[in-house]
Amino acid sequence: MQIDYAGGSCLSFRTKNLTILTDPPENPGKGMKFDADVILESILTDRVEFSGLLKSGAQPRVFARPGEYEVRGVSMSGIEILPTEDEPNTYHTIFHLQIEDLDVCYLGNLRILPDMDIWEETGTMDVLVTPADGSLPSKAISEMISLLRPKIVIPTQVSSAEEVTAFATLLGLGEPELVPSLKVTNKELGEKTRLVGILAV
């Protein structure tokens, strides 16, 4: 599996048969076009038009609600996070992806701390993708890491190596790995949790 980062909460998870795009930007940069078979949106919106950011011919399926999905052998589970009093009209979905023998937990644009019981639905994860902009307390993310025991933590909402390093330090994960693109297989995960910053191009 290859993972690339395009800024914000937008990543692409690419296999030989499928490309999954997460939370694509409302206003992509000039000339920025994406290839996608599936689009995952972690916050339910009325957005229905994506043609302005997709390459010619792309006709992705869009999943933005809780549920069980499968496309070309990749399983995707959307787990509902209920609104809070602070955000009564905001519905979040966490996605659990099973890609090429890898379990990925994508928190997306999560802005509220979910009940830790929610992780009983997911079990342990190989890869955890979490926002690093302070919207989730670092203590909460550390608790998630302790429960999910991911081998790789990927931050989003970052734009520089300095931000990635500061986030790794905040979580106590030591010096991060900085890469332009990440290729990972189950055999290459290793034993310890490591933070990998994928720097957007």
Number of domains in the chain: 1
Residues of the chain whose pLDDT is less than 50?
A: none
Cα 199 to chain centroid, rounded: 14
Give the domain range for residue 71: 2-198
Q: What CATH number does residue 72 fall under?
A: 3.60.15.10
Helix or strand holding residue 188 (H, E)? none
Q: What percent of the chain has pLDDT over 70?
A: 83
Cβ pair 173, 190 in contact under 8 A:
no
Helix or strand holding residue 147 (H, E)? helix 138-148
pLDDT (0 to 100) of residue 57: 64
DSSP code, position 55:
P
- Could you tell me the pTM of the whole model? 0.90
pLDDT (0 to 100) of residue 24: 85
pLDDT (0 to 100) of residue 106: 95
Nearest alpha carbon to residue 92 among 104, 110, 113, 74: 110
Pairing of strands 67-71, 182-183: unpaired
Helix or strand holding residue 153 (H, E)? strand 152-156
